[in-house]
Amino acid sequence: MGTNLSINPIQSIPQSKEEQVTRLFSHLEFDGKQLSHQPGSILGSTALIAGTTVGAGILALPAVTISSGVVPSTVLMIGAWVYALVAGLLIAEATVNTMRLVGRPNVNMLAMVENTLGCFGARMAGGAYLFLHYALLIAYIAEGGDILGSAIAKVFGVQQVLPGWVGAMTFTLLFGGLMYLGRERLVEKLNSAFVAIVLVSFLGLLLLAGGQVKSTQFLFQNWSALGSAVSVMFVALFYHNVVPMVVNQLEGDRQKIRQSIVIGSVIPLIMFLAWNAVILGSASPEMIQKAFDSKTIFDPLQILRAGGAGEWLGLLVSVFSEFAIVTSFIGFMYGLLDFFRDVSLVTQSKSSHRLPLYSIILLPSMSFGVLNPGIFFTALDYAGTFSVSVLGGIIPALMTWKHREQQQLSYPINQPFVPGGKVTLMVMIAIALVMIVRQILSMCGL
């Protein structure tokens, strides 16, 4: 329920800088007689962050953690969550500072980077943004198409495995076509239904697979195998593109923003930890040995989807996997559509512009998915290493660094969202650089 405010905004402006910004960017509605304050809610912002985080990245976790075991991967995931949380709070701090400096409430990530770090920083962030979205769309089309192709084969009683391009093209035409032909309200309603399916199937998975968990599997630990899981965990825990939106909704209120980011990221963390423990805990010793012997990434979910641990469990894994991919696919499609509309100043409503816009997004993504159906884990790995490290590590630290230096030269604008001063910022940058260098060395065979 909104709070009624006086119509005279000048007399009601408070004196503290913290309250000034809240009032300056307040969500006010005028009904002809009085102003009504309509602030964003912590619950809504928390749901936005949690919903953005829970996606297809969860599917890759068991494949990259099975070689290390439940306990080591749990410790690493909590560490990755802390890193992501610090990055999210740094983006929130940079957003609040930018809002105050430019005098606008609606500041997206790329505009904020350009305002703070200049053209070079904006180009670096834009390149990382494009790479992230295209890499993930390629991964989703490849994996979603594979699952869809298997389902088609079962429905029509086809014994042999269908070519990879059948599933990838079907997935693209089905869900890409849905977004192209369907109205935005229809897509929103369908996406909400898909999210409900994801949640229900996830709970069913935990109940069914939980009964097959073997306590002895929790004793297996291989800490040396953790390195390959970091980048995928970063992708799974990525929600930072919606932080500026949360800051705007909550009107720059530090306490509400911090609560939303912390709680909104803890909920997916709990889900990921439970999922990882249940899947690895129910994996047989043969699966773990196969993961060690395989030269490529071994995915235990493929065994489960094939009915290796029961037909009902296999069906639930397939349903959960497919719709988790679909919801993520829709979200990242919208992300790229907004990016290209901002760059080219094209409106989506014009039919003459819709086909080229969707084509430059879907055709390259589908082509890579068709040419390399097994690209799912590689795409996630590269996206986590190069894009998330830049957008969720280096860029937020550099923006915060510059803002804090500007505050020292002029006047204090905002209290830090994260303690530790420059040491925290240097650690964030160093971890991101280590990941990037490690990936480059791995690509070179070193």
Whole-model pTM? 0.80
Are residues 96 and 21 part of one domain?
no
Are residues 22 and 95 part of one domain?
no
The pLDDT assigned to 259 comes to 92
Are residues 151 and 9 part of one domain?
no
Are residues 243 and 123 part of one domain?
yes
* Owner of token pair 């059948």: 166
Contact 404, 424 (CB under 8 A): no
Are residues 104 and 14 part of one domain?
no
Are residues 181 and 123 part of one domain?
yes
Number of domains in the chain: 2
The residue range of the domain holding 158 is 41-443
CATH of the domain at 130: 1.20.1740.10
Q: What is the mean pLDDT of each run of 10 residues along the chain (446 residues)?
A: 37 42 54 62 83 80 86 94 95 87 75 87 88 88 86 74 79 90 82 85 82 78 85 89 85 87 92 88 71 63 63 80 86 83 58 78 88 78 85 91 77 74 93 89 76
Are residues 114 and 24 part of one domain?
no
Are residues 150 and 22 part of one domain?
no
Are residues 261 and 146 part of one domain?
yes
SS3 readout for the chain: CCEEECCCHHHHCCCCHHHHHHHHCCCEEECCCCEEECCCCHHHHHHHHHHHHCCCHHHHHHHHHCCCCHHHHHHHHHHHHHHHHHHHHHHHHHHHHHHHHHCCCCCCHHHHHHHHHHHHHHHHHHHHHHHHHHHHHHHHHHHHHHHHHHHHHHHCCCCCCCCHHHHHHHHHHHHHHHHHHCCHHHHHHHHHHHHHHHHHHHHHHHHHHHCCCCHHHHHCCCHHHCHHHHHHHHHHCCCHHHHHHHHHHCCCCHHHHHHHHHHHHHHHHHHHHHHHHHHHHCCCHHHHHHHHHCCCCCCHHHHHHCCCCCHHHHHHHHHHHHHHHHHHHHHHHHHHHHHHHHHHCCCCCCHHHHHHHHHHHHHHHHHHHHHCCCCHHHHHHHHHHHHHHHHHHHHHHHHHHHHHHHHHHCCCCCCCCCCCHHHHHHHHHHHHHHHHHHHHHHHCCC
Are residues 86 and 22 part of one domain?
no
Are residues 412 and 270 part of one domain?
yes
Q: Is the dihedral of CA 401, 18, 257, 341 positive or negative?
A: negative
Are residues 45 and 31 part of one domain?
no
